[in-house]
């Protein structure tokens, strides 16, 4: 920009154009993308393109993934969180990786936080997610960080290979909400609770958090299925019904914030009062 034409040589112009080209893809992002593609292929039989993975986090089809989850997954795909290997890039700290001190794990990666960590609440979160999913009678997939990042492309099929829309949505909702909750719990404890081992989130606390997150999704689903309010943009009520079939007992359950007794029960205090004050 701003070069005088009479002094511009071909070599200079070429260099300037080269400099403007899109930056090289980052090695770590590429690696994470490749691994995510492989896992999605293993679970669905379809090998998605790289852009399909990015787009699955951008388009947020059928209100399945929340904006918060997509921002988290987007950043994780870039390995944008200051975890473990991040410090490799900083001079002087080259060999000083961030371990997970609590677990004595050499590197605190997102995969460690989601699957192994003893202080992120992951064990309790996944246990409850599987319990909810068990109501569907279908198999729960093996979940790693790649499954979480490619969750928007996962599908659930029946024995004839036909995609079950409702079940696909439920699985995507459960995996994305669980992963995001684990990440939130880890940050809350490390930052908000000063890594105090006596202040770890308790099992009932964690279970209530996931129940609340899933119940909220159920309520939003039915709200978005309102044709009068959203017209053609409304969610398909049949798909919403199929999503929560067996897991929640229909529209009735939303009113009382009760979701499938014994599976997802909202706390009494969060129920709306009856009658006039509702
Ligand atoms: Zn850990």
User: For residue 212, which of 164, 243, 177 has the smallest C-alpha distance?
Assistant: 177
Q: Is residue 44 domain-resident?
A: yes
pLDDT for 107-165, tens place per residue? 888 999 999 999 999 999 999 999 999 999 999 999 999 999 999 999 999 999 999 99
Q: Is residue 97 domain-resident?
A: yes
Output phi, psi for 264, to 5 deg.
-130, 95
Please give the C-alpha separations between residue 37 and each of 87, 163, 169, 174, 176, in angstroms, as whole numbers.
26, 19, 20, 20, 17
Q: Please state, in angstroms and rounded to a whole number, the distance separating the CA atoms of residues 165 and 237.
A: 12
34 Cα–ligand 1 center, Å: 25
Q: Is residue 195 domain-resident?
A: yes
- pLDDT band for position 255 (50/70/90)? very low
DSSP H helical segments within the chain, as ranges? 10-20, 27-44, 50-56, 67-77, 110-115, 122-134, 145-149, 165-187, 203-224, 227-230, 237-244, 252-255
Q: Is residue 73 domain-resident?
A: yes
Give the H or E element holding residue 259.
strand 258-259
268 Cα–ligand 1 center, Å: 33
Q: Is residue 253 domain-resident?
A: no
Q: Is residue 10 domain-resident?
A: no
Q: Please state, in angstroms and rounded to a whole number, the distance separating the CA atoms of residues 85 and 116.
A: 17
Give the pairing of strands 258-259 and 264-265. antiparallel
113 Cα–ligand 1 center, Å: 6
Give the H or E element holding residue 229.
helix 227-230
Structure tokens given for 204 = 């009932």
Q: Is residue 246 domain-resident?
A: no
Cα dihedral 237, 243, 246, 249 sign: negative
130 Cα–ligand 1 center, Å: 21
More confident residue, 79 or 41: 41
72 Cα–ligand 1 center, Å: 19
44 Cα–ligand 1 center, Å: 30
Number of domains in the chain: 1
pLDDT for 22-66, tens place per residue? 666 778 889 999 999 999 999 999 999 999 999 999 877 678 999
Q: Is residue 225 domain-resident?
A: no
242 Cα–ligand 1 center, Å: 37
Confidence check: pLDDT of 267 > 50: no
Give the domain range for residue 157: 24-202
- pLDDT band for position 201 (50/70/90)? very high
Cα dihedral 61, 65, 71, 76 sign: negative
Q: Please state, in angstroms and rounded to a whole number, the distance separating the CA atoms of residues 142 and 132.
A: 16
pLDDT > 70 fraction of the chain, expressed in percent and rounded: 80
106 Cα–ligand 1 center, Å: 9
């Amino acid at each position: 920009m701003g070069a005088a034409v009479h002094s511009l040589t071909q070599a200079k112009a070429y260099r300037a154009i080269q400099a403007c080209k899109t930056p090289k893809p980052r090695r770590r992002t590429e690696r994470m993308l490749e691994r995510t593609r492989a896992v999605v292929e293993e679970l669905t039989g379809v090998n998605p393109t790289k852009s399909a993975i990015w787009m699955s986090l951008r388009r947020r089809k059928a209100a399945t993934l929340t904006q918060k989850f997509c921002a988290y997954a987007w950043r994780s795909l870039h390995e944008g969180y200051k975890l473990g290997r991040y410090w490799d890039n900083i001079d002087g700290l080259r060999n000083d990786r961030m371990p997970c001190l609590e677990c004595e794990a050499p590197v605190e990666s997102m995969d460690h936080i989601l699957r192994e960590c003893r202080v992120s609440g992951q064990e309790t979160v996944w246990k409850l997610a599987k319990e909810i999913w068990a109501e569907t009678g279908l198999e729960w997939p093996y979940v790693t960080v790649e499954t979480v990042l490619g969750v928007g492309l996962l599908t659930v099929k029946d024995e004839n290979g036909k995609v079950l829309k409702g079940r696909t949505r439920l699985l995507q909702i459960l995996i994305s909400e669980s992963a995001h909750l684990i990440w939130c719990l880890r940050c809350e404890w490390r930052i908000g609770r000063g890594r105090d081992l006596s202040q770890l989130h308790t099992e009932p606390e964690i279970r209530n958090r996931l129940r609340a997150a899933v119940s909220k999704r159920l309520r939003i689903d039915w709200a978005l299925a309102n044709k009068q309010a959203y017209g053609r943009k409304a969610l398909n009520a049949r798909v919403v019904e199929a999503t929560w079939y067996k897991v929640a007992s229909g529209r009735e359950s939303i009113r009382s914030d009760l979701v499938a007794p014994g599976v997802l029960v909202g706390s009494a205090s969060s129920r709306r009062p009856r009658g006039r004050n509702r």
